[in-house]
Amino acid sequence: MKLEPSGNFIVSGQEGLLSEISSMLQMAKQTVVISATRIDSTLSKEIVDAGKNGVRVYLLLTSEGFDEWLKNDFKEIADNVLCRRTSQGIPSLILIDGETPDSDGILMQSGTAVDRSLKVEGAAWGLRLNQEQVSRLAHYASWLFWSSNGPRSETRCSNHLKSPQDVKPLSASLSKVSSNSVIDFNAKNDGNKFFTGIKDIERFTAIGFSSFDLKEIGGLEIDRRLQTAVLTSPGDVRSGEASADSNASKIVALISADGSRGWLFDWVADAKMQLDHQTVLSLDDKQAGTLLTVVNKSKDKTEWNLMNNVNLSSLEVGAEALLTDGKTKAQILENQTIDLGKQTVTPWSKERLSEFEPHANSRPDCEPLAKVINWTWENIPPCPPKDAKDDLIERQFSEAVRKAKAADEYIRERLSTHGKKGEKELSKLDKIAKNTPQDIRLISDLKTWFDALSDVNNQLKKLEDGGDSDIQRKKKTKNVEIPDTPADNRPSVGRLFVHGKVKFLAIDSWTDYEEGLVESAKYNAELCATRDVLKRQAK
Cα 505 off chain centre by: 47
- Is the pLDDT higher at 442 or at 173? 442
Per DSSP, the three-state class of 415 is helix
Per DSSP, the three-state class of 476 is helix
Residue 411: phi and psi, rounded to 5, are -60, -45
Query: Mind listing the pLDDT tens digit for each residue in 136-160?
Result: 999 999 988 887 566 678 888 888 8
DSSP 199-262: GG---EEEES--TTGGG-BTTB-GGGSEEEEEESS----SSSEEEE-GGGGG-EEEEETTSS-E
> Residue 261 pLDDT > 80, yes or no?
yes
* % of the chain surpassing 70 pLDDT: 93
Q: Is the dihedral of CA 460, 462, 463, 467 positive or negative?
A: positive
397-to-246, 418, 496 alpha-carbon distances in Å: 78, 32, 11
Q: What is the pLDDT of residue 87?
A: 85
> Residue 538 pLDDT > 50, yes or no?
no
| Listed residue (232, 251, 69, 29) closest to 162, CA to CA | 69
Q: What is the pLDDT of residue 377?
A: 94
* % of the chain surpassing 90 pLDDT: 60
Q: What is the pLDDT of residue 146?
A: 85
> Residue 469 pLDDT > 60, yes or no?
no
For range 470-494, the mean pLDDT: 78
Cis omega (within 30 of 0) for bond into 5:
no
Query: Mind listing the pLDDT tens digit for each residue in 109-145?
Result: 999 999 999 999 989 999 999 999 999 999 999 988 8
DSSP 477-537: -----PPPPPSSPPPSSSEEEEETTEEEEEE--GGGHHHHHHHHHHTT-EEEE-THHHHSP
Residue 517: phi and psi, rounded to 5, are -60, -45
| Listed residue (424, 415, 427, 406) closest to 457, CA to CA | 415
- Is the pLDDT higher at 318 or at 537? 318
Q: What is the pLDDT of residue 1?
A: 80
The residue type of 115 is: D
Counting DSSP H helices and E strands in the chain, the numbers are 15, 25
How far apart CA 114 and CA 94 sit, in angstroms, is 9
- Which runs of E-coded beta strand occur in 118-212? 125-128, 153-155, 165-166, 183-184, 204-207
Query: Mind listing the pLDDT tens digit for each residue in 210-233?
Result: 999 999 998 899 999 999 999 998
Binned at pLDDT 50, 70 and 90, residue 468 comes out as low
Q: What is the pLDDT of residue 258?
A: 95
For range 494-505, the mean pLDDT: 95
Query: Mind listing the pLDDT tens digit for each residue in 307-340?
Result: 766 777 888 898 888 776 667 888 999 999 999 9
Q: What is the pLDDT of residue 157?
A: 87
Binned at pLDDT 50, 70 and 90, residue 539 comes out as very low
Say if residues 227 and 274 touch (Cβ distance below 8 Å). no
Burial of 38 (0-12, 13-18, 19+ CB in 10 A): buried
How far apart CA 182 and CA 192 sit, in angstroms, is 14
**Radius of gyration (Cα) for the chain, nearest Å?**
48
Residue 391, by phi and psi: left (phi above 0), alpha (psi -120 to 50) or beta?
Answer: beta
